[in-house]
Amino acid sequence: MNTDDPETLADRQSELPRLLWVLRNGKGFGLYFVCCNAPAYRRELVEKIKAEYALPILEFDLTGHDGEEYIDHRLLTWTADKPAGAPVFLFGLETLLPTRDEDRRFRTIQEINWRRNVYSQLGRNLVIWLPEYALTLLARQASDFYDWHSAVFEFPVPEAEKAEFVELSMQEFMDGETHAANRMTLAEKKRWIGVLNGLLDETPKESVEYARLLNDLGRLHHASGKYSEALRMYQKSLEVFHKLNNQEDESMALNNISQIYQAQGDYDNALRYLESSLVILRDIGFRDRESIALGNISHIYRIQGDYEKALSYLEDALVINHAMGNREGEGTNLNSISQIYSAQGYRDKALNCLENALTIHREVGNRIGEGATLNNFSNFYYDQGNNDKALDYLEQSLRIARDMGDQAGLCAILINYGAIHDSQGNISEAKHAWLEAYRIAEEIGHAEGLKALDKLAKDLGKEGLAYWESKR
Amino acid sequence: MNTETNPVTYPVSTVAEVYDACHPDIPLEDVNDTRYVDLTAVRGGESLVKSIAYAIERTRSPNFHQQLVTGHRGSGKSTEFFQLKARLENHGYFVVYLDVGETLDLGDISYLDILIGIAKAIVGELEAAGIDLNENLLTEVLAWLAEKTIITERNAESEGKVSANLGLAANIPFLAKALAEATGHIKSGSKRREEIRTVLERELSLLIERLNTLIDDARTRLQRQGYKDLVVIVDQLEKMAYRTNKDGTSNHKELFVHHAGQLKSLHCHIIYTVPIDLIFNVNLGDAFGSNASFIIPMVNLKDSLGNEKLREVIAHRINIEQVFSQQELVDKLIEMSGGSLRDLMRLVRLACQNTDEIIESTDVDRAIRALIREYDRLVKEDDIQLLKRVNETKRLDGSFADLLGLRVIHEYRNGDTWYDLHPAVRAISWIDRALNPPAIL
């Protein structure tokens, strides 16, 4: 999304009042969609809406729906004895629209499409909450149903969970191969996009050069948070690499595409692309890249909470790295494994992995890996409420990020740094760190960072990003 | 559909009422609804109601008029059908309206289902109108249906006994119930559906013959009561799911082209709605005759009458002067709708959201941006080549008909037929860039 555009910004701010307006004024049946990618942010929004709306809202979650009964039937039966006129918030429809199970998806889409008349019997407002990819799917494929709506409300994720934000940034951090796109200032990025577009016109289509330009443009858009543009570029580059039978670059494009889907919350597609990439890498025998792909797949399973699978992919990666004597890879894997143990509540195992990872990173002199591991140590102690230790590790991590000139990483660490101080009641120190994070994020056009800072300012009761700008 | 407890008087004057008055998904069922505006003049000049009504009135037994109708989603097909139904009824016809979406399974539909669905609808309407059929015929048909296990023997027996006690053998309510049971199985998609279809397919010629005997008897009795003839409207069929068959053809083509013979075989005037992608299928013309398709195009905004008419549509619903801060705002909304009624209604609703007093220029602009974002969701990168082509040639071929279905591309008529992009699609920034590349210096 283009965050510079004041109209877009104004529209974003009017989404919530508009939604409240239709809840209050829409009589009888009305169909609405809310586009929201992150479950945590969704919960936050729903609470906010409930507080402001003040009348009952009926919440229905389809997660785990077996498909035996029509969705509308279930809704009708369930709402029969509920207060008249109370709107229904429907969640979890995306779980019936899996990207990988075509049959299931098709059935759900068709069912919704042809039974749309039954929904109107609800006689109340129906608000369906969906992640972006699922809404697009519905719009194109259940078009009769979708076309019935009276509004779509979009709530782009401000990465509500601070921890989640930090983790995403750390993932890039850990991959080690920081692309030039992540180091440029925003102004530089804009200039480069212009330059590359110009080159694109001069380069013969269907050449490797052309595809690489597209890929670089994709990285630039990606780094500026413009996912759909980035996706278009990556897709095009993939097409050309594939035509040229350039498998190595094809696997890279597949990987990049998966990162976009992941950022949009479409984990099925992210996995699909990563798996295609994996097949190619195995085919051409690029074992080091194979281990990275395994790590990325594991990451997606971890986000989705499938820790067993996440662990098994990482173990495969670890076997490869061990066999190849790739100590750096081993260190990275151990660091990731610690995060799974941590999420599973195996604190000792997690700590053990972190210690091993740190030893290896220091032994081979992998400073970026060291920084990431130190940050995870910090999270570990922060979760335990040991703020002093958390701060201690984070300060070490901060020093490394400054030394390495990793702006994106630095920005993430500073936000965490501020969060710890904030939780200790040390507001001025927190603001200080966040202000520096804002300067960096603003300079490099770090979309995720800006979103997090926008929320932090609002949590402080200020007016979002404008607050940091005024403090510069 | 939507029963309003407090009848509203149109045009309405407050924003909250406006919101309700412009529901995009409620067809105007009542022919006297004051919101109805005849848009024939700005939709190519041919009136659906009149042209189909004339065609039916001109076609005399033993010939029947068969009609296909299609149009953009939300263009008012169902509203026009309710007008057509009322007109035909006024002219002495017995009209049966079948909403396939309610009776059958649009996710998986076969011509056999449609035939049974039509039988069910006709018998149901006869029952409602208190018109009986020949008793022996009913007995025969019921026995046949039971023998072929289309209806279950057990039910036929027990019901039969009850009927016998009442001194009535087979009667219309019983047949209506039996057919409803069969369509119930078909709709639910159970194993019974496949059994029923297998039998029907095997017995197809007999099925059609029996249906026609029933229909003919119904017509005779209807005519005895003063009706001119029987007309069946099969609506919502255009929403059937799209599937590609093993041989590469679509299930749409399979139904309307391969099985056109069966769909045309019934002894009554009949109107089917068809998916809009089929209008490019030349074989459809062969199957149903070249003049058999009626397409409801978008309102042509190229001449000022289109704008006037759509303003009239709005004025029939809402008091423009009291609701909009400036008259010109309505023109802006009309322009952005591209002549699509549903989008016009949606735009008005979007403009209402978040205002309680009066709709101002900022509300209208916000509504337009919201519509543009919605269309941005529908257009894919791959579509751009076609969009460029349509933009230049104002023509369309069949390969991209789904964009017509999504209203990304609009069809217009004014003697000629032409195609153009929805204004909201044109306004999407990346599409605008692709259509109007900056001059190279």
Residues from chain B that touch A21, judged by Cβ atoms under 8 A, are 352-355
Nearest to A315 by CA among A286, A336, A300, A284: A336
* Angle, in degrees to the nearest 10, between helices A447-459 and A427-444: 150
* Each residue's pLDDT tens digit, A385-437: 677 788 889 999 999 888 776 777 788 889 989 988 887 778 899 999 999 99
DSSP character at residue A69: S
How high does pLDDT run on average in chain B? 87
Q: Which helix (DSSP H) or strand (DSSP E) does residue A470 occupy? A: helix A465-471
Q: Give B273's strand partners.
A: B69
Tell me whether residues B377 and A7 touch, CB distance under 8 A.
no
Q: Give B-chain residues touching A8 at CB under 8 angstroms.
A: 369
Contacts of B156 (CB under 8 A, 6+ apart): B142, B146, B178
> Residue B157 has what pLDDT?
47
**What is the per-residue pLDDT across B407-422, written as a single tens digit (0 to 9) for each?**
999 989 887 889 999 9
Query: Out of B1, B239, B378, whose CB is closest to A144?
Result: B239
d(CA A373, CA A379): 10
Chain A residue closest in CA terms to B19: A26
Give the least confident one: A195-199, A461-465, B238-242.
A195-199
Bridge-based pairing state of the strands A88-91 and B94-99 = unpaired
pLDDT at A177 over 60: no
Nearest CB to B342 within list A18, A30, A147? A147
Kindly list the distances between the CA atom of residue A365 and the CA atoms of A172, A203, A362, A395, A407, in Å, as whole numbers in the listed order.
19, 40, 5, 19, 20
Percent of chain A with pLDDT over 70: 89
Nearest CA in chain B to A119: B1
Report how far residue A69's alpha carbon sits from residue B85's, in angstroms, rounded to the nearest whole number: 35
**Which chain B residue lies closest to A11 (C-alpha atoms)?**
B366
Within 8 A of A236 by CB-CB distance, chain B residues are 381
Task: Using alpha carbons, select from B440, B177, B234, B377 the residue that is nearest to residue A140.
Answer: B377
For A62, the 3-state DSSP assignment is coil
- Cβ atoms of B21 and B351 within 8 Å: the answer is no
Chain A residues in contact with B405 (beta carbon < 8 A): 143
What ipTM does this complex have?
Answer: 0.81
- A-chain CB neighbours of B235 within 8 Å are none
Does residue A141 surpass a pLDDT of 80? yes
pLDDT at A17 over 60: yes
pLDDT over 70 (residue B156): no
Catalogue the long-range contacts made by B126-129 (C-beta closer than 8 Å, 24 or more residues apart).
Answer: B126/B172, B126/B218, B127/B172, B127/B173, B127/B176, B129/B94
CB pairs under 8 A between A and B: 95
pLDDT of residue B153: 47
Distances (CA, A) of B412 to B45, B52, B250: 11, 20, 26
A151 bridge partner residues: A32
**Tokens (6 digits) for B368:** 């337009």
Cβ neighbours around A2 below 10 Å, total: 12
Query: Chain B contacts of A26, Cβ < 8 Å?
Result: 19-20
CB contact under 8 A, A148 and B25: yes
Neighbours of A451 (CB within 10 A): 22
pLDDT higher than 50, residue A164: no
pTM score above 0.80: no
Q: Do B106 and A7 touch (CB under 8 A)?
A: no
Which residues is B412 bridged to in the sheet? B418
Burial A134-150 (b: 16+ CB within 10 A, else e): bbbbbbbbbbbbbbbbb
pLDDT at B251 over 60: yes
Q: In what order do the strands lie in the sheet with B66-71?
A: B94-99, B230-235, B269-273, B66-71, B293-296
- Exposure string for B404-413, b = 16+ CB within 10 A, e = fewer: bbbbbbbbbb
Average pLDDT, integer, range B354-376 = 92
pLDDT at B154 over 50: no
B354:A21 CB<8 A: yes
Going from the C-alpha of A47 to that of each of A43, A50, A159, the distances in angstroms are 6, 5, 17
What is the distance between the alpha carbons of residues B359 and B344, in angstroms, rounded to a whole number?
15
Angstroms from A142 CA to nearest CA on chain B: 9
Using a pLDDT cut of 70, give the percent of chain B over it. 92
User: Is the pLDDT reported for residue A319 higher than 50?
Assistant: yes
The pLDDT value recorded for residue B167 is 37
- Res. B440 pLDDT band, cuts 50 70 90: low
What's the pLDDT at A132? 76
The token pair that represents B236 in the structure block: 């919502």
Phi, psi angles (nearest 5°) of residue A365: 75, 30
Q: What is the pLDDT of residue A266?
A: 84
* B341 closest CA partner among B306, B310, B363, B364: B310
Q: Which DSSP helix (H) or strand (E) runs through B280?
A: none
pLDDT, tens digit, for every residue of B204-227? 988 998 899 899 999 999 999 999
Which site among A15, A114, A143, A205 would you substitute to test the B interface, given the most B Cβ atoms closer than 10 Å to its Cβ?
A: A114
**pLDDT in the model for residue B169:** 55
Of A29, A106, A150, Cβ closest to residue B346: A150
* A32 beta partners: A127, A151
The DSSP secondary structure of A402-425, one letter per residue, reads HHHT-HHHHHHHHHHHHHHHHHTT
Looking at per-residue pLDDT, the higher value among A247 and A43 belongs to A247
- Whether residues A140 and B378 touch (CB distance < 8 A) is answered with yes
Give dist(CA B353, CA A25) in Å, integer. 9
Task: Point out which residues pair with B94 in neighbouring strands.
Answer: B230
Residues of A in contact with B2 (CB under 8 A): 28-29, 120
What confidence tens digit (pLDDT) does each residue in B106-147 have? 888 999 999 999 999 999 999 999 998 888 888 888 888 888
- The separation between CA A435 and the C-alpha centre of its own chain, rounded to angstroms, equals 24
Instruction: Name which of A367, A306, A379 is nearest A338 in CA terms.
Output: A379
B148-to-B58, B119, B180, B266 alpha-carbon distances in Å: 38, 16, 16, 21
Write out the two tokens for B298.
Answer: 């978008």
| pLDDT tens digits, one per residue of A329-384 | 999 999 999 989 988 878 888 999 999 999 999 998 888 788 889 999 988 887 76
